[in-house]
Amino acid sequence: MSSQKQPDAVHIDENSKDAQLASKRMDPTGSFLTTDQGIRVEHTDDSLKIGARGPTLLEDFHFREKMTRFDHERIPERVVHARGSAAHGYFQPYESQAKYTRAKFLQDPARKTPVFVRFSTVAGSRGSADTVRDVRGFAVKFYTEEGNFDLVGNNIPVFFIQDGIKFPDIIHAAKPEPHHEMPQAQTAHDSFWDFVSLVPETLHMIMWTMSDRAIPRSFRMMQGFGVHTFRFIDAKNVSRFVKFHWKPLLGTHSLVWDEAQKLAGKDPDFHRRDLFEAIEQGDFPEYELGVQIVEEADAQKLGVDLLDATKLIPEEVAPVLPVGKLTLNRNPTNFFAETEQVAFCVANIVPGIDFTDDPLMQARLFSYLDTQLTRLGGPNFAELPINRPLAPVHNHQQDGFGRHTSNVGRANYHPNSLGGGCPFLAGQQQGGFVHQPEQVTGQKLRARPESFKDHYSQAALFFRSLSAPEQEHLIDACRFELGKVESKAIQERVLEHFAKIDALLVTAVAEGLGLPAPKATPAAPKGPPASKALSMEAMKLQMPPSIKTRRIAVLVADGVDSDELMAVRKELEAQGAQLKIIAKRLGTVKAANGKDLPVDKSAMTTASVEYDAVFIPGGAASVATLKKDGESRHFVQEAYLHCKTVGVSKDAEDLLKACEIDPAAPGVVSGAGSGSGSALATAFAKALSNHRHWDRKDHDRVPA
């Protein structure tokens, strides 16, 4: 047998330096329009005809190529997670995790592993809006030295169903109803709630999706979860159960429902734009990766079946261990080539990480690979640049649509002698992936374990853990969604389930629907009575106060006190906030000192829902103009309605009165009480760091 090693497959990279240099030599200017074959084009505004008004000729190869390519530009959109946004970045561990896993990307604190992260909504099509009430996808592709690891998760730690065979049913129920293809990107309709009322395992997830978690403030302020229980395998082949968590370093924050609805019309790309602009401005989104580790011997003591994707492990039971940090620092250069063509597969794991027998995970291992075959035109999607691993690829796969690699040599099978036996198999010590051995016995049947049958206790835990405002928002969401349901029988079935979760929940929702509330019989707690990790308000108290990247709208008109404004602006921007000057028209306004003040946005193109707070500087003429302007008053009132921080200089308090806002209300910062300039900015920043002021009891009194 020959010992000569088979040459590596030829890897053609059109973005390589060699390819770019070669292209430069052929076209020094880099600016000539060409066909796909590199033929320079002399004219592209008219097709080739016989005479100026004659028939078009079939021999016009440039027209045929241009039109053919246009006709075939689109690929099938994803069945779920169709609308997304993505970014490049890197992951860096804090310290070696060798005591838990042999995965190399979790070992060296000095090593940065490249990643590509895609955020998405689930139910809507590509053309839907960003801010709809929905689960958000949080998928991370790690380009590790051992191959690609795809952690494909959501912003909610549990899922609607326990077994993957029900996945087509839940998605069909949530999508627009097939007889009229409505409603788009929302679950406020009969078919979804019919499914929920008949499949009570959905109820824990329903509590999450009806909460503020389903309308995040931004992708940068949204948690992520691996959902399933995985395994960590260490160098001694000891297995431990693990759940993955992503926690944004800016904190976890949400929109209010009225904001989310208005943003869907004002700026349907609100989340996409926010992510893109933050990275372009250098405000790189950061997330901490944490893990919950459970020793296999302790798994039965949790009171939760780790194979049930509708359940979570409370952090009071298994604390989250910080592992490393994810930083997103580069936007895609081509949305289609990267964000659309990226293919995440749950089956993509590396040595040191393994699966469990979670029946929902087992279905996803098949489904994600299978869907890419249709969406991306065949089995070679892993050769697309965005999916291509950095680890070398050596195998005997060949041919098919979209093949990029050109294999050389005679041997395209294993074992072989003609290629010197190459490529060789790798043992565990050489980095080969070895599935963790596990003893499995039992009858072949369609069934679920008894431990999967509790559908209410964790739904009750989630509701009990929320603050009073969060509970109120969840109740309002249920009233809204069920209020859109036409079938009274479906509404009544849902209320029967809510009665097993919480008395306040079922009573308040029933009252909103005009129906009698069933007798409440809440499920007995299993585990802690409440969990602070489930409430965004409770988590906020554990974060250091910050206004970093918060957007502040500054309303001005001619005669504004620009000196005071600049003093406030300097202080707030030093703390990381972003101020946008808004006036009736673009260009400049004339300040009280006679100088021109540049305007960032016209009132016609923006709204209060796009900002985290509003500030009105002084200047008698400016304030007088704003007081008389209905749109300006609405802007301030709407911000107040949404419990945002409102700040005014001493000279601008008359505007508050015109807006029927009490200067002493929570979250209203007035120059009369706080001073001017730096002092006013300090008080404003302190209020803004609270994000919302839910103790503002009269907010719904203000017309907006």
Q: Is 151 helix (H, G, I), strand (E, B) or coil?
A: strand
C-beta separation of 402 from 341 below 8 A:
no
Backbone angles phi, psi at 588, to 5 degrees: -140, 160
Question: What span, in angstroms and rounded, lies between the C-alpha atoms of 356 and 358?
Answer: 6
Residue 549, SS3 per DSSP: coil
Distance CA 195, CA 578 (A): 44
List 121's β-bridge partners, or say none.
136
- How many beta carbons lie within 10 A of that of residue 408, not counting itself? 11
DSSP per position, 258-279: HHHHHHHHH-TTHHHHHHHHHH
Q: Which of the 8 DSSP states describes residue 700?
A: G
CA of 688: how far to CAs of 68, 72, 332, 387, 684, in Å? 54, 49, 32, 41, 6
Q: What are the structure tokens assigned to 172, written together? A: 């069909």
Distance from C-alpha of 355 to C-alpha of 347, rounded to nearest angstrom: 9
Element of type H or E holding 252: none
Strand 239-248 relative to strand 224-225: parallel, antiparallel, unpaired?
antiparallel
The dihedral region occupied by 488, where left means phi > 0, alpha psi between -120 and 50, and beta the remainder, is alpha
Q: How far apart are CA 594 and CA 577, in angstroms?
A: 27
Structure tokens at 565: 């404004």
Contact between 244 and 289 under an 8 Å Cβ cutoff? The reply is yes
From 154, 331, 348, 407, the catalytic residue: 154
d(CA 69, CA 90): 34
Rounded CA separation 331/275 (Å): 9
Closest CA to 632 of 540, 530, 704, 529: 704
**Order of strands across the sheet that contains 668-670:** 601-602, 578-583, 551-555, 613-616, 645-648, 668-670
Paired residues of 245 in beta bridges: 225, 290
**Residues whose CB falls within 8 Å of the CB of residue 443, separated by 6 or more in sequence, listed in order:** none
How many helices (H) and strands (E) the chain has is answered by: 20, 18
Cis preceding-peptide flag for 351 (omega within 30 of 0): no
CB-based contacts of 385, cutoff 8 Å, min separation 6: 13, 15, 337, 338
| Helix ranges (DSSP H) in 358-433 | 359-375
646 in Cβ contact with 661 (< 8 Å)? yes
Which residues, listed in sequence order, are joined to residue 200 by a DSSP beta bridge? none
Residue in 589, 581, 524 with CA at minimum distance from that of residue 554:
581
Catalytic residue among 15, 43, 62, 81: 81
Q: For the chain, give the number of residues.
A: 704
Rounded CA separation 166/65 (Å): 44
Please report, as a single letter, which amino acid is at residue 311.
K
Q: Are 606 and 612 a contacting pair, CB within 8 Å?
A: no
Q: Give residue 120's identity as a one-letter amino acid code.
A: S
Q: Is 81 a catalytic residue?
A: yes
| Alpha carbons 194 and 200: distance in angstroms, whole number | 11
DSSP state of 322: E
Q: From CA 170, how far away is CA 210, in angstroms rounded?
A: 16
Cite the active site residues: 81, 154
